Amino acid sequence: MKTLWAVVLTVAELAAFEYGLKPVHVNDKTYCFFGAPEVMNTHNNGNMVNSCFVDAGGSYLVIDSGPTYLYAKEAHMQINALKPMKVSHVINTHVHDDHWLGNGYFLAQGATLAGPTPFEHAIHSQETPRMALRISKAAYEGTTPTVPSKLIAQSGSLHVNDMEVQIVHVDHKAHTSGDLFIYIPSIKTLFAGDLVFNDRIPSLRDGDLNGWIKALDQIASYGAQTLIGGHGVRFDAKAAEFTYGYLTRLRDEVRSAIEEGVTIDAALERIVMGEYKSAAMYDVMHRANVEAAYRMLEWEE
Ligand SMILES: [Zn+2]
């Protein structure tokens, strides 16, 4: 009987869920894992978001810890295969759960976790994360929602070993009501979180259209050589172009419709923005974005 249990346990261990994550070399100091341009489901199991590791000399800084405990663990294992180091710091760019449910793994490794102030509410929330409901049990295994203990309410600099890391707190509602972006001057690299999307239509649901565009103008002022968003595979200096183009076009078209006295229903039919139809998630996101934009802009002066 004992032998049988040993066999069963070994098989169970072998069957532990794996994502098959592959790190992408972004620049000298940065490796990222880029997720699929999809909503979370039992097929991608939350691997639909970006997570990056920065070699800060002596330890890693992680920007967004990914969708689950097992994802974070596997990502760290992959990075360790390139250069083994502990993760000393994790920064979560905003409260959407695909960006921070990997925190529990890094906390257990002794990392310091930081994120914007809206995490204050998440601490007391008893709500089950969307992730837990939408991906497979095997992939979610071991995940405990772990909010950052260091809450960031204003912009400032952090030193990770000898590396200066600027954490910029967006002082108005943009993608959410508490967004951070991170700029590392020594490598001219900017981590934009969900202020930048590529390969898929962004979600305006929890944000503010004008505030988001303003945040993108702020990001542009840094002149980063490497710019990495929260979703989508693109990391050159112009990686914000797609999001900026989409949001400014949406703003202009919705504004014109309102000025012409077009009703919201008619605006939904009219504002198709056809050249974005080929982008992933157009069908699930675009109409909702037009509606959200209309409701935001109809109160403009
Ligand atoms: Zn988000």
Domains along the sequence of the chain with CATH: 17-239 (3.60.15.10)
C-alpha 9 to ligand 1 mean position (Å):
38
C-alpha 276 to ligand 1 mean position (Å):
20
C-alpha 230 to ligand 1 mean position (Å):
7
Looking up tokens 């100091």 gives 29
| pLDDT value, residue 219 | 98
C-alpha 231 to ligand 1 mean position (Å):
9
Contact 141, 134 (CB under 8 A): no
Contact 32, 52 (CB under 8 A): yes
| pLDDT value, residue 223 | 98
C-alpha 277 to ligand 1 mean position (Å):
21
C-alpha 296 to ligand 1 mean position (Å):
19
The model's pTM? 0.94
| pLDDT value, residue 15 | 67
C-alpha 6 to ligand 1 mean position (Å):
43
Per-residue pLDDT of the chain (301 residues; tens, 9 = 90+): 555 555 555 555 556 899 999 999 999 999 999 999 999 999 999 999 999 999 999 999 999 999 999 999 999 999 999 999 999 999 999 999 999 999 999 999 999 999 999 999 877 777 899 999 999 999 999 999 999 999 999 999 999 999 999 999 999 999 999 999 999 999 999 999 999 999 999 999 999 999 999 999 999 999 999 999 999 999 999 999 999 999 999 999 999 999 999 999 999 999 999 999 999 999 999 999 999 999 999 988 6
C-alpha 124 to ligand 1 mean position (Å):
20
Contact 234, 200 (CB under 8 A): no
Among 30, 121, 150, 152, CA closest to 79: 30
C-alpha 226 to ligand 1 mean position (Å):
20
C-alpha 266 to ligand 1 mean position (Å):
29
- Gap between the Cα atoms of 244 and 51, Å rounded: 22
C-alpha 149 to ligand 1 mean position (Å):
20
Looking up tokens 């596997």 gives 74
